[in-house]
């Protein structure tokens, strides 16, 4: 017996609390690292600087990640999880092709205005291991195929004018991806305002006359419990 009253709480954290604390620290490392990578570039930024911003030692970082490349991939993965989340929601909606395309443009534009979203286009897959780089390239192809799929659906249901889905998808995605390069956090333009503008601007030329008249200025993005673009889901600890 240690002399403590029976109802005295244990001095040790419960397993669940320890795991929660570890996950919060892990996420703090990722948020700090992605900001530094975006500010200075992946190669110029160092783990020493990440540790300094977190007020911890560099060896402490290895309690959460194996390497700098591991951190880079996890930053990309958090951005990809946002995209996967809103695509799944849009796929489950009952909108026509134009409606789905506008919802996709809106959600993707919002995501590009976040640090983890920008990591999808600002970081070079060649800096990753062959396995991780393969995963990134496959995900990029998946996003491109989704744009093409919604455009094809719109052509079939009459909400989008006949066009080349591949070229239309390239034009739209190219404009959206560039947001990740020029958007200034804390500037006069909010992510939602940018998303509203791009959703209308990038699809109005594709909409048929009838569909264009019926469509609202702001796309009817599927309602979810929490917007994936505004609050990226946390990755579970591997």
Tokens of 226: 């929490």
- The pLDDT score that the predictor gives to residue 126 is 94
Pairwise CA distance, residues 124 & 139, whole Å: 14
Residue 216 — very low, low, confident or very high, per pLDDT cuts 50/70/90? very low
Cα–Cα–Cα angle for 130, 136, 138, rounded to 5 degrees: 100
- Asked whether the predicted pLDDT for residue 14 surpasses 80, the reply is no
Q: Which CATH number does 80-230 carry?
A: 1.10.357.10
- The pLDDT score that the predictor gives to residue 140 is 96
Contacts of 95 (CB under 8 A, 6+ apart): 103, 220
Classify residue 192 by burial, with Cβ atoms within 10 Å: 0-12, 13-18, 19+: middle
Tokens of 60: 């402490």
- The pLDDT score that the predictor gives to residue 46 is 95
pLDDT digits (tens, 9 = 90+) for 22-51: 678 899 999 999 999 999 999 999 999 999
Fold of 17-65: Arc Repressor Mutant, subunit A (1.10.10)
- The pLDDT score that the predictor gives to residue 222 is 52
Domain boundaries, the chain: 17-65, 80-230
- The pLDDT score that the predictor gives to residue 186 is 79
pLDDT digits (tens, 9 = 90+) for 46-93: 999 999 999 999 999 999 999 999 999 999 999 999 999 999 999 999
- Asked whether the predicted pLDDT for residue 238 surpasses 70, the reply is no
Tokens of 155: 């052509």
Q: What percent of the chain has pLDDT over 90?
A: 72
115 membership: H or E segment, kind and range = helix 115-122
pLDDT digits (tens, 9 = 90+) for 180-212: 999 988 778 899 999 999 999 999 999 997 655
- The pLDDT score that the predictor gives to residue 104 is 98
Cα–Cα–Cα angle for 90, 175, 124, rounded to 5 degrees: 90
Nearest to 34 by CA among 19, 49, 23: 49
């Amino acid at each position: 017996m240690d002399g403590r009253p029976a109802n005295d709480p244990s001095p040790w954290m419960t397993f669940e609390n320890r795991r929660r604390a570890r996950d919060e620290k892990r996420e703090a490392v990722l948020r700090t690292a992605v900001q530094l990578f975006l500010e200075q570039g992946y190669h110029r930024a160092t783990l020493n600087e990440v540790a300094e911003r977190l007020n911890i030692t560099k060896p402490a970082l290895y309690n959460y990640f194996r390497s700098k490349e591991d951190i880079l991939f996890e930053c990309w993965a958090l951005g990809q999880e946002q995209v996967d989340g809103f695509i799944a929601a849009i796929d489950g909606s009952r909108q026509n092709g134009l409606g789905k395309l506008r919802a996709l443009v809106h959600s993707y534009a919002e995501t590009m205005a976040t640090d983890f979203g920008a990591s999808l286009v600002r970081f070079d897959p060649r800096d990753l291991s062959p396995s991780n780089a393969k995963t990134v390239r496959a995900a990029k192809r998946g996003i491109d195929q989704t744009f093409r799929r919604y455009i094809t659906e719109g052509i079939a249901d009459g909400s989008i004018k006949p066009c080349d889905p591949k070229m239309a998808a390239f034009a739209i995605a190219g404009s959206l991806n560039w947001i990740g390069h020029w958007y200034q956090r804390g500037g006069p333009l909010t992510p939602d305002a940018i998303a509203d503008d791009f959703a209308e601007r990038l699809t109005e030329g594709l909409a048929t006359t009838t569909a264009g008249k019926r469509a609202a200025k702001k796309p009817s993005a599927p309602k979810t419990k929490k917007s994936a673009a505004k609050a990226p889901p946390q990755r579970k600890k591997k």
